Structure 1
Amino acid sequence: MRLQPTITYNDDSLLAKAWVKGKVEEEGVQYLTCAVNLGGQSRRSQESVTIYSFPAPNLTLSQPEVSEWTTVNVECEAQAGAVVTLNGAPARPPGPRAQLQLNASAEDNGRSFFCSAALEVAEQVVHKHQTRELRVLYGPRLNERDCLGNWTWQEGSQQTLRCQAWGNPTPKLNCSRKEDGALLPIGDLRPVKREVAGTYQCRATSTCGEVTREVVINVIYHQNNMAIVIPVASVIILGTVGAAAYIYNYQRKIQKYELQKARKAQEEAAMKLSTPATPP
Structure 2
Amino acid sequence: MVLSGLLSRACWTSLNYLLLIGCLPPPGTQGQEFLMRVEPKDPVLPAGVSFSVNCSVDCPHPERISLETNLLKETVGRGLGWAAFQLSNVTGDTMVLCSGFCSGSQIVGSSKVKVYRFPERVELAPLPRWQSVGRHFNLSCLVSGGAPRSHLVVVLLRGEEELGRQPVANGEPVEVMVTVLASRDDHGANFSCRTELDLRSQGLGLFQNHSAPRKLRTFAMPMIPPRLAVPRFSEVETSWPVNCTLDGLFPVSEAQVQLALGDQMLNTTVMSHGDTLTATATAKAEQEGVQKIVCNVTLGDESRETRENVTVYNLQGPILTLSEPNATEGTTMTVTCKAGPRVQVTLDGIPAAAPGQPSQLQLNVTERDDRRTFFCYATLKVHGEILHSNRSVQLRVLYGPKIDRAQCPQRLTWKDKTMHILQCPVRGNPNPQLQCLQEGSKFKVPIGIPFLVRLNYSGTYYCQAVSSQGTDSLTVMMYVQDQNPIAVTITLGVLTILGLVIATAALLYVFRVQKRSDIYHLKKKSSWLPLTSKQPDEAVAEESS
Whether the aligned pair in 1 keeps the contact of 2:401 and 2:466 (CA below 8 Å) is yes
Choose which of 155, 162, 171 in structure 1 pairs with 2:432. 171
Structure 2: unaligned runs, 5 residues or longer: 1-253, 265-284, 295-307, 491-545
The residue type paired with residue 185 of structure 1 is P
Q: Say which SS state the counterpart of residue 341 (structure 2) adopts.
A: coil
Which 4+ runs in 1 deviate beyond 6 A? Answer: 91-94, 226-229
Separation of aligned partners in 1, 2:414 and 2:259: 79
Determine the structure 1 residue equivalent to 2:17: none
Structure 1: unaligned runs, 5 residues or longer: 1-9, 35-46, 230-280
Superposition TM-score, scaled by structure 2 size? 0.32
The residue type paired with residue 60 of structure 1 is T
Q: Say which SS state the counterpart of residue 181 (structure 1) adopts.
A: coil
Structure exhibiting the larger radius of gyration computed from Cα positions: 2
Choose which of 339, 347, 354 in structure 2 pairs with 1:86. 347
Separation of aligned partners in 2, 1:94 and 1:114: 18
Separation of aligned partners in 2, 1:221 and 1:181: 22
Q: Say which SS state the counterpart of residue 380 (structure 2) adopts.
A: strand
Choose which of 316, 319, 336 in structure 2 pairs with 1:58. 319
Separation of aligned partners in 2, 1:209 and 1:221: 39
Choose which of 150, 161, 167 in structure 1 pairs with 2:411. 150
Separation of aligned partners in 2, 1:81 and 1:188: 58
Determine the structure 2 residue equivalent to 1:199: 460
Residue 154 (structure 1) shift: 3.3
Separation of aligned partners in 2, 1:109 and 1:67: 10
The residue type paired with residue 166 of structure 1 is R
Determine the structure 2 residue equivalent to 1:127: 388
CA gap 1:226/1:79 in 2 versus in 1, 3 angstroms: closer
Determine the structure 1 residue equivalent to 2:299: none
Choose which of 316, 329, 338 in structure 2 pairs with 1:77. 338
Q: Say which SS state the counterpart of residue 368 (structure 2) adopts.
A: helix
Separation of aligned partners in 2, 1:16 and 1:225: 90
Separation of aligned partners in 2, 1:144 and 1:205: 16
Separation of aligned partners in 2, 1:31 and 1:91: 32
CA gap 1:228/1:125 in 2 versus in 1, 3 angstroms: same
Separation of aligned partners in 1, 2:344 and 2:352: 11
Per-residue CA distance 1:64-118 (angstroms, 9 max, x = gap)? 122111111101112233222222x547767553221111112222322221212
Separation of aligned partners in 1, 2:431 and 2:480: 31
The residue type paired with residue 134 of structure 1 is L
Q: Say which SS state the counterpart of residue 180 (structure 1) adopts.
A: coil
Residue 176 (structure 1) shift: 0.7
The residue type paired with residue 84 of structure 1 is V
Per-residue CA distance 1:211-250 (angstroms, 9 max, x = gap)? 1111122223345227999xxxxxxxxxxxxxxxxxxxxx
Q: Say which SS state the counterpart of residue 81 (structure 1) adopts.
A: coil
Q: Please state which structure has a larger fraction of its residues in strand.
A: 2
Choose which of 259, 262, 278 in structure 2 pairs with 1:18. 262
Choose which of 481, 485, 489 in structure 2 pairs with 1:224. 485
Separation of aligned partners in 1, 2:351 and 2:259: 50
Determine the structure 1 residue equivalent to 2:401: 140
Determine the structure 1 residue equivalent to 2:228: none
Aligned-residue sequence identity (percent) comes to 34
CA gap 1:119/1:140 in 2 versus in 1, 3 angstroms: same
Q: Say which SS state the counterpart of residue 446 (structure 2) adopts.
A: coil
CA gap 1:182/1:101 in 2 versus in 1, 3 angstroms: same
Whether the aligned pair in 2 keeps the contact of 1:156 and 1:190 (CA below 8 Å) is no
Separation of aligned partners in 2, 1:158 and 1:70: 45
Whether the aligned pair in 2 keeps the contact of 1:104 and 1:136 (CA below 8 Å) is yes
Residue 15 (structure 1) shift: 8.5
The residue type paired with residue 18 of structure 1 is G
Choose which of 203, 206, 211 in structure 1 pairs with 2:472. 211
1:102 aligns with 2:363: yes
CA gap 1:78/1:176 in 2 versus in 1, 3 angstroms: same
Whether the aligned pair in 2 keeps the contact of 1:55 and 1:128 (CA below 8 Å) is no
Determine the structure 2 residue equivalent to 1:111: 372
Whether the aligned pair in 2 keeps the contact of 1:66 and 1:136 (CA below 8 Å) is yes
The residue type paired with residue 318 of structure 2 is P
Q: Please state which structure has a larger fraction of its residues in helix.
A: 1
Superposition TM-score, scaled by structure 1 size? 0.59
Indicate the RMSD between aligned Cα atoms, in angstroms. Answer: 3.7
Separation of aligned partners in 2, 1:137 and 1:17: 48
Determine the structure 1 residue equivalent to 2:139: none
